[in-house]
Every structure is written in structure tokens, then in C-alpha cells.
């Protein structure tokens, strides 16, 4: 997986990438062999221990308090291995309402999410927490969001401008909000 490769690269070349991450989030857009959008990954450097960052991610029910445009984030089903969370996102026109089923891998500090119901059918999400330089944490969020609103779909072009834009901006907004919440509280995040 590319995010694992990026984590290894960052751990071995932190002197090259850390200055960039200190300036703000980095985003990677992956393309499939046919040149079509495959995934977007945002990476931020969080001034906190990996354990604290992972614990924050496990509490998706609080995302509505500090992630922009999130109107609802309700954990519907939860056990030691997985949880489902319903999101309602404020967008022009009808709000986007969907549920993600996340599978936890606590040893790897990873959450892998798949579409469970509602809007964004067949989409996938992944959060990964890795140790960073100087006791900080690398937070990765990979998105493969599909099937947006009919308004955005009608504006899509052959270069997939809408798809790339929605995925990149969503990944950056979410990782930055988590970082800001951990480092400065809910008021700093929104």
C-alpha cells in the first residue's frame, strides 16, 4: 500500500519531508493504470504521541464538534473490532448522509472503512497513525470517495476534476481538524 511506503519514506527521510509537513498538510493523488483517479491521501504531522492521536480517531462520535461541515457523527454499532458511524455532511443542496463501517487494527493503529449505507456508495476510507520525528505523529487519511451528489456528478469532466477536488479537500480538512483538535481543542479545529 502506498501509505505504508510513504510512512517508511518519511521515517527514513524525515529531514527532507518534515520541513514540508511543518508548513502544512501534504496531499497525494494516486492514479490507476488507465489514468483515472484511484485515491487521495493527506498527511499531517501532529504534535502528540501516536497513542493519543489513535484514541482521538477512535472517538468518531466527536467529529461533529470539530471537523468542518460535519453536522452529525453518531456511532451506531461498536465492538472491540469494529464500529459504524453515521455522518451527515453540510453540502450545497441536500446534505450528504452515509454510514461507514470501520474495522480496527489497534496493533497497527489503523482504521479501514467501507461504505455501509446511504450516500457515497462503494466508497472507502482509511486512517493510519505512525510514529513521526521528535516524538510527533504522522497522521494519514486515504479516501476513495465515489457517487457524490447529482449536482457534482453533472459537473464532472474527463479529467475527474470534481472527484479529485472532493477527495483531496476532504482528506486535508479531516486530518487538519484532527491535528488542530489534539493540539488546541475544538475551538482551534473548526
Q: What is the pLDDT of residue 171?
A: 97
> What pLDDT is recorded for position 35?
87
pLDDT at 17: 82
For residue 4, pLDDT beyond 70: no
Instruction: Write phi, then psi, for 161 (nearest 5 degrees).
Output: -60, -45
82-89 and 70-78 as β-strands: parallel, antiparallel, unpaired?
antiparallel
Over residues 25-42, the pLDDT tens digits come to 999 999 999 988 999 999
The helix or strand, by DSSP H or E, that contains position 37, with its residue range, turns out to be strand 37-46
Element (H, E) at 129: strand 124-131
Cα–Cα distance, 119 to 135 (Å, whole number): 38
Confidence at residue 1, expressed as pLDDT on a 0 to 100 scale: 42
Answer whether residue 189 shows pLDDT above 60: no
Task: Return the H-helix or E-strand segment holding 174.
Answer: helix 161-184
Model pLDDT for residues 140-181, shown as the tens digit of each residue: 999 999 877 777 777 778 888 888 988 999 999 999 999 999
Tell me the pTM: 0.89
Q: Which CATH number fits domain 2-189: 3.30.530.20, 3.40.50.970, 3.40.718.10, 3.30.70.20?
A: 3.30.530.20
Q: How far does CA 126 lie from the centroid of its chain?
A: 6
State pLDDT tens for residues 55-64.
999 999 999 9
> Which value, in Å, is the radius of gyration of the alpha carbons in the chain?
16
Q: What strands, in cross-sheet order, belong to the sheet with 70-78?
A: 26-31, 37-46, 137-144, 124-131, 110-118, 96-105, 82-89, 70-78
| Helix, strand, coil abundance in the chain, percent, nearest 5 | 40, 35, 25
Q: Are 131 and 108 in contact (CB under 8 A)?
A: no
| pLDDT exceeds cutoff 70 at 89 | yes
Q: How far apart are CA 36 and CA 187, in angstroms?
A: 38
Q: In whole angstroms, give the CA distance from residue 85 to residue 99.
A: 5
Q: What is the mean pLDDT of the chain?
A: 89
What are the C-alpha distances in Å from 94 to residues 88, 97, 116, 150, 159?
Answer: 10, 9, 19, 10, 25
What local confidence, expressed as pLDDT, does residue 3 receive?
A: 47
Amino acid at each position: 500500500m502506498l501509505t505504508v511506503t510513504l510512512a517508511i519514506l518519511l521515517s527514513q527521510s524525515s529531514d527532507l519531508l518534515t520541513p514540508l509537513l511543518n508548513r502544512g498538510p501534504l496531499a497525494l493523488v494516486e492514479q490507476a493504470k488507465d489514468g483515472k483517479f484511484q485515491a487521495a491521501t493527506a498527511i499531517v504531522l501532529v504534535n502528540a504521541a501516536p497513542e493519543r492521536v489513535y484514541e482521538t480517531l477512535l472517538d468518531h462520535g466527536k467529529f461533529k464538534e470539530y471537523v468542518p461541515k460535519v453536522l452529525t457523527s453518531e456511532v451506531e454499532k461498536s465492538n472491540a473490532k469494529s464500529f459504524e458511524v453515521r455522518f451527515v455532511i453540510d453540502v450545497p443542496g441536500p446534505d450528504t448522509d452515509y454510514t461507514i463501517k470501520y474495522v480496527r487494527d489497534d496493533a497497527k493503529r489503523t482504521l479501514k472503512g467501507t461504505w455501509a449505507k446511504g450516500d457515497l456508495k462503494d466508497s472507502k476510507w482509511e486512517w493510519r497513525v505512525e510514529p513521526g520525528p521528535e516524538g510527533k505523529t504522522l497522521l494519514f487519511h486515504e479516501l476513495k470517495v465515489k457517487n457524490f451528489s447529482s449536482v457534482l456528478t453533472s459537473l464532472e469532466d474527463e479529467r475527474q476534476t470534481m472527484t479529485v477536488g472532493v477527495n483531496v479537500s476532504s482528506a486535508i480538512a479531516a486530518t487538519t481538524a484532527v491535528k488542530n483538535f489534539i493540539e488546541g481543542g475544538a475551538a482551534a479545529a473548526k
